[in-house]
Amino acid sequence: MPTFLKRLGSVVVATIAAALISGTAFAEKRVALVIGNDRYVNLPQLQKAANDADAVGNTLAKLGFEVVRGRDLGRQGMIDKLAEFTTRLEAGDTAVYFYAGHGVAIGNVNYLVPTDAPAADLEARVRGASVAEPDVIAEIQAKGARVAVLVLDACRDNPFPRQGTRSVGNTRGLASSSPARGVFVLYSAGAGQTALDRLTRNDPDRNSVFTRVFIEQLAKPGLHLGDLAVEVREKVAAIALKATNDRGEAAPHEQTPAYYDQTIGGRVFLNSRSVAVEPAPKPTSPQLDSEAVMRGDYVFAERLNTRAAWDAFLQKYPTGFYADLARGQRDKVSAVEPRPQAPDPVRPPAATAPVPPPGAADVSKRIDAMIGPVPEPPPFAATPGIAGSAVARPQPPRPAQDDVSKRIDSMVGPIQPIGPPAFPKR
């Protein structure tokens, strides 16, 4: 019996170990390819595409991705890196393809331009010298990847302009696409829009406007692809409106990243843990940056064009050239927009003069009003008598002074003496 239990235990342990080994061997992998092309031979060179690829690759490596890197690649170099990338993929893996550099849309198809592409004037030559977006997707899907994520920061001006005639491909930006099933594509700008490399002439950030926001959001845990794309779109669109030209003047730029999601099987998370993003170098010219922010705020206030907006701007920037402009704009708005009436201030009641004590004449009038005047005695009347002499007729007796005083006191009270009040003696 003990021998049987030992054998059974050995079998169980071996089975669990085999399952763990098998699970590790067939666990889903996360593989990424990042390419940044700056140094073009026959086309305008770029400044930040290689930096963008490095920053995205470093962030993905911290998230546990196997990262294949390519910098300043010609057409054959891009094809070789794509082959190295797809060789590492297996069925059920998650694949991320990031490209920064020149791109062009021809016939509603987006082409990624290598550094050795000729300055061609025929669309056929441009197509043959570039790498098509659908070809990249097809190579990834051929390996059975569960999710294929393409991030293309290539929506710049067409590098193949022709003077006096139509340019090769779309004049600006890339075209909208219809990705295949299981594919998620994020573009640095919308269809027909261009992507900014910098916000100001002396922008110290090493990355393009899109990439600096993308790596920041990519480092946040708990964002699935849809939420990630929405956050990037909103922030890039807001920042691009604060752009300035080489003369330092406000030049708001329309850049709204677009994404197309054809993934199935639930939400896809590229980051399930917190990752610290490499800090950008400190600005070397903070005065220019602060002026750019002030110009951007002025543009926002100008778009709202309300008294409250101009008041808020002037509270933040009370002096300077833009402050003077803002006051002029506020005065124009105030002339049209009615100003609310302030309530009337509460005034204290007017002081009244003290009423002096009644005098003797006033007392007499009060007595006459209440009891009437005291009748005067009639004069003596002459009555014919003996021998024509006058005899006095008896008259009714006149009321005594004390009786009048009592009547007055009973009706109006005793009359107080006029003068200062008497204080008790100490």
CA 32 to each of CA 85, 96, 98, 115: distance values in angstroms, whole numbers, following the listed order: 7, 4, 8, 21
- Residue 354 pLDDT grade (very low, low, confident, very high; cuts 50, 70, 90): low
The CA distance from 155 to 423, in Å, is: 102
The CA distance from 197 to 304, in Å, is: 28
Q: Looking at per-residue confidence, does 323 or 163 come out higher?
A: 323
Give how far the C-alpha of residue 218 lies from the chain's centroid of Cα atoms, to the nearest Å.
21
Token duo for residue 374: 């005291």
CA angle 59, 141, 215 (to 5 degrees): 15
Tell me the Ramachandran region of residue 372: left when phi exceeds 0, alpha when psi lies from -120 to 50, beta otherwise: left
Q: Are 121 and 104 in contact (CB under 8 A)?
A: no
Tens of pLDDT, residues 37-72: 999 999 999 999 999 999 999 999 999 999 999 999
Domain locations in the chain as residue ranges: 26-160+169-280, 305-336
What local confidence, expressed as pLDDT, does residue 397 receive? 59
CA angle 288, 289, 292 (to 5 degrees): 90
Q: Looking at per-residue confidence, does 275 or 396 come out higher?
A: 396
CA angle 43, 48, 54 (to 5 degrees): 120
Tens of pLDDT, residues 250-275: 999 999 999 999 887 778 888 865 44
The CA distance from 339 to 49, in Å, is: 52
Q: Looking at per-residue confidence, does 177 or 136 come out higher?
A: 136
Token duo for residue 161: 């302009």
Tens of pLDDT, residues 95-153: 999 999 999 988 888 999 999 999 877 888 889 999 999 999 999 999 999 999 999 99
CA angle 383, 387, 390 (to 5 degrees): 25
Name the nearest CA neighbour of 85 among 132, 140, 37. 140
Q: What is the 3-state secondary structure (H, E, C) of 248-300?
A: CCECCCCCCCEEEECCCCCCCECCCCCCCCCCCCCCCCHHHHHHHHHHHHHHH
Write out the DSSP string of 309-330: HHHHHHHH--SSHHHHHHHHHH
What local confidence, expressed as pLDDT, does residue 296 receive? 82
- CATH among 3.40.50.12280, 1.10.287.130, 3.40.50.1460, 3.40.640.10 for 26-160+169-280: 3.40.50.1460
What local confidence, expressed as pLDDT, does residue 192 receive? 81
What local confidence, expressed as pLDDT, does residue 23 receive? 38
Beta-strand relationship, 109-112 and 103-106? antiparallel
Q: Looking at per-residue confidence, does 164 or 88 come out higher?
A: 88
Q: Looking at per-residue confidence, does 150 or 391 come out higher?
A: 150
pTM for the model: 0.58
- Type and span of the H or E element at 218: helix 209-218
Give every CB contact of residue 166 below 8 A, 6+ residues apart in sequence: none
Q: What type of residue is 197?
A: D
Q: Partners of 244 in the beta sheet?
A: 250
Q: How many residues does the chain have?
A: 426
What local confidence, expressed as pLDDT, does residue 182 receive? 87
Tell me the Ramachandran region of residue 222: left when phi exceeds 0, alpha when psi lies from -120 to 50, beta otherwise: left
The CA distance from 189 to 209, in Å, is: 10
Name the nearest CA neighbour of 33 among 180, 209, 152. 152
Q: Looking at per-residue confidence, does 252 or 351 come out higher?
A: 252
